[in-house]
Amino acid sequence: MNSIPKSKKFKNKTILITGGTGFFGKHLINHLIDNHIFKKLVIFSRDEQKHHKLVEKYKDHKIFPKLRFFMGDVRDRDRLDFAFRNCNIVIHAAAIKHVPFAEENPMECIKTNIMGAENIVHCALKNNVEKVLALSTDKASNPINLYGATKLCSDKIFTSAEQIKGSKKIQFSVVRYGNVSGSSGSILEMLKDYRKENKKTFNLTDKNMTRFWISVNDALKFVLNCLDEMKGGEIFVPKLSSIKIIDLIRLFKNIKKINVIGIRAGEKLHESMFTKDECHLILKSKNSFIISPNAKYLKKYKSKKYQILNEYYDYKSNIKNNFMSLKQMKNLTLR
């Protein structure tokens, strides 16, 4: 965690995290508490059992009086409005993320990911929040599944909120990244479970499948850096390495047989961070990209650090020379 920034901008701020009891939320909470860089921390989640576990974890910590465990759902605007009172920074991590379940339960996904985003914007404007940073996914780029489509809508809701804020001093931005190492339900965690149970056979949908990959520490670092850099209306995208799923599976020596079962409904062979159709709106730096909402914003973001991309390509997970080394992938399996 030492490489993760300890922004002084959070020192006297009240921070609210939606989906705060989820995988990313818990890691962010740990970092904020370990470094004591907030005035108050509001953990907003609908999962009572996960709330209870966090309360048990921190109840004897000296910073516990500055924590607020807030049960609620982003679908419920009234409850969200109550939680947002006196908050300065909102990190929106709540979402329905499971692709097959979203395909089978579309309205549930729409209510959380789209209507929930609208509620976040409404309550942030009403309560004079200073910054709203929404977490997104590579599946929002050129989406083919409902989850990706709802996150694309969510991204647009947040970036376009800049146009309706009027004179309010509030910023809305988005962070988009790929699979987070160790997140619940990820293929890596599934493979680790298979290793513990010494299972020999693994089902793979397609042997050519690739994915962007980011460690949770790198995701935290990127999100906190974006909170410092955000001006409003942009989508931040980190430069990430990719993995070939079949190569990851082969690192688990207990797996003796790989069954190729075919791509599932809504599943992509390769993911995308942005398409060539967006490149005229993109700035690049050494480690990241910014997708600006329109051409006039390019001047707002252009700096010594960020320069106009001036290239046209699809930033996809199967780009040559962008794959993790065998050593990097082995390190993933040991964490």
CA dist., res. 266 & res. 102, Å (int): 9
Classified as helix, coil or strand, 201 is strand
Which member of 13, 97, 139, 268 is catalytic? Answer: 139
CA dist., res. 147 & res. 139, Å (int): 7
Establish whether 50 is a catalytic residue: no
Instruction: Quickly tell me which residue has 């709330």 as its tokens.
Output: 51
**At 59, phi and psi to the nearest 5?**
-60, -25
CB 56 within 8 A of CB 28: no
Can you point out the beta strands (E) in 149-266?
Answer: 171-177, 179-180, 201-204, 210-214, 235-238, 241-244, 257-260
DSSP-derived secondary structure letter, 132: E
Strand order in the sheet with 241-244: 179-180, 210-214, 241-244
Instruction: Quickly tell me which residue has 């409003």 as its tokens.
Output: 232
**At 256, phi and psi to the nearest 5?**
-100, -20
CB 205 within 8 A of CB 267: yes
For 32, residues 6+ apart whose C-beta sits below 8 A from its C-beta are 10, 15, 38, 41
Distance of CA 160 to the CA centre of its chain: 19
CA dist., res. 195 & res. 253, Å (int): 8
What amino acid positions are annotated as catalytic residues? Answer: 139
